[in-house]
Amino acid sequence: MPPFPKRYADAVAKLRVPSGFVLVLVFAWFSRPTSHSLALGLPFGLVGLSLRAWAAGCLAKNQQLATGGPYAYTRNPLYLGTLLVAAGLVIASRNIGLGILFVAVFLLVYLPVIQLEEQHLRNLFPEYAPYAGQVPALWPRLTPAPTRNPNPFRAALYLRNQEYQAGAGYVAGMLFLLWKVLG
């Protein structure tokens, strides 16, 4: 994929969090869940949250290039986890329009942010280029890439990276959908 212009990527990076709040409101308004759709969407979300938790527990931001754990399979396990969580919520919500919206947001917001982060990592870590040559950006490898830096999961990193907030948000979203089903 060709790189996004830096000015666009910078602007989008600043809008990523506020746009997330707008998405939550749109999601809440337009979701039409059933108990069946919740049961189908839940596993996707849980796998995505688990992947995000594993990745956050292996990530010492700006201190060491993460190449072990889930980073041996994909350079962006946090974003892959986000995609899985979003897929689970879209399935649970039973609204194809929300699916289209999430895809558009991922393409127009998250992909430019991923490119900015990769530029930052290339500047920060000279070993990033060879790593990027072995590990795909998003779609994971089936076997882990060889690594000299195993980055084992550490609960302290998980907490420092505040990944529990994603879990709390997911639980709140699923409880809201359950409330809509029961209400």
Residue 131 Cα distances to 73, 94, 118, 144, 167, angstroms: 11, 39, 11, 12, 29
Average confidence (pLDDT) over 137-160: 89
Overall number of domains in the chain: 1
Query: For residue 32, is it within any domain?
Result: yes
Is residue 44 in some structural domain?
Answer: yes
- Packing angle of the helix pair 6-30, 96-105 (nearest 10 deg): 160
Q: For residues 176 and 170, what is the distance between their CA atoms, to the nearest angstrom?
A: 10
Indicate whether 1 belongs to any domain: no
Residue 102: exposed, middle, or buried by beta-carbon count in 10 A (0-12, 13-18, 19+)?
A: buried
Q: Give the pLDDT mean for 6-24.
A: 73
Q: What is the 3-state secondary structure (H, E, C) of 111-133?
A: HHHHHHHHHHHHHHCCCHHHHHH
Residue 37 belongs to some domain of the structure: yes
Residue 8 has pLDDT above 90, yes or no: no
Q: Is the pLDDT of residue 182 over 80?
A: yes
> 124: Cβ–Cβ under 8 A, 6 or more apart, which residues?
62, 65
- pLDDT greater than 90 at residue 28: no
In the predicted model, is pLDDT for residue 169 greater than 90?
no
Residues 77-105 have pLDDT tens digits of 999 999 999 999 999 999 999 999 989 98
Which structural domain, as residue segments, surrounds residue 178?
6-182
Does residue 18 sit within a domain?
yes
Model confidence, pTM: 0.89
In the predicted model, is pLDDT for residue 2 greater than 70? no
